[in-house]
């Protein structure tokens, strides 16, 4: 069965550095999402993306965040200048017929 993949599985970075988290959504899906989950807390929506543009974003998704679909398969989340509080699991998802399929996540640790 097709699945969403994410790389890397774990990213360690220094505060102030840029990181790019990568996702490969399921190939025939049209809607893409990023969520994050700080340790011990709820899964939180960050941004949704459709037709090569952001369709909705949360308050968390400020100017430090950006998303891109650079080619026909990848979907990326960039954090320009990471902060300690960006440490979290980041999940990518893609959607068809109302069902969102999530990737295994990238654990981002900001030191």
Which residue stretch of 10-18, 60-68, 71-79, 96-104 sits at the interface with other proteins (rule: CB under 8 A)?
96-104
The verdict on 103 binding other proteins (CB under 8 A) reads yes
The verdict on 91 binding other proteins (CB under 8 A) reads yes
Cα separation values, 32 from 11, 86, 109, Å: 21, 21, 23
Q: Are 91 and 103 in contact (CB under 8 A)?
A: yes
The residue among 6 and 82 lying less far from other proteins, judged by its C-beta, is 6
Q: Which of 48, 52, 71 is nearest to 61 (CA)?
A: 48
Minimum Å gap between C-beta 81 and other proteins is 25
The verdict on 44 binding other proteins (CB under 8 A) reads yes
What does the CA dihedral 39, 24, 49, 79 come to, rounded to 10 degrees?
50
Beta strand ranges found along 5-79 (DSSP E)? 5-7, 10-13, 19-24, 31-37, 43-50, 53-57, 65-68, 75-79
The residue among 33 and 65 lying less far from other proteins, judged by its C-beta, is 33
**Candidate list 65, 87, 105, 108; residue touching other proteins; CB under 8 A:** 105
The verdict on 78 binding other proteins (CB under 8 A) reads no
Residues within the interface to other proteins (CB under 8 A): 4, 30-31, 33, 35, 42-45, 48, 50, 56, 58, 89, 91, 93, 95, 97-105
């Amino acid at each position: 069965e097709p699945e969403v993949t994410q790389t890397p599985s774990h990213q360690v970075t220094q505060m102030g550095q840029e990181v790019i988290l990568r996702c490969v959504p399921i190939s025939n899906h049209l809607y893409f999402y990023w969520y994050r989950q700080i340790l011990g807390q709820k899964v939180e929506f960050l941004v949704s993306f459709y037709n090569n543009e952001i369709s909705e974003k949360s308050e968390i998704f400020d100017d430090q965040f950006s998303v891109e679909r650079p080619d026909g398969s990848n979907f990326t989340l960039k954090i320009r200048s990471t902060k300690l509080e960006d440490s979290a699991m980041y999940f990518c998802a893609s959607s068809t017929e109302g069902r969102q399929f999530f990737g295994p996540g990238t654990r981002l640790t900001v030191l």
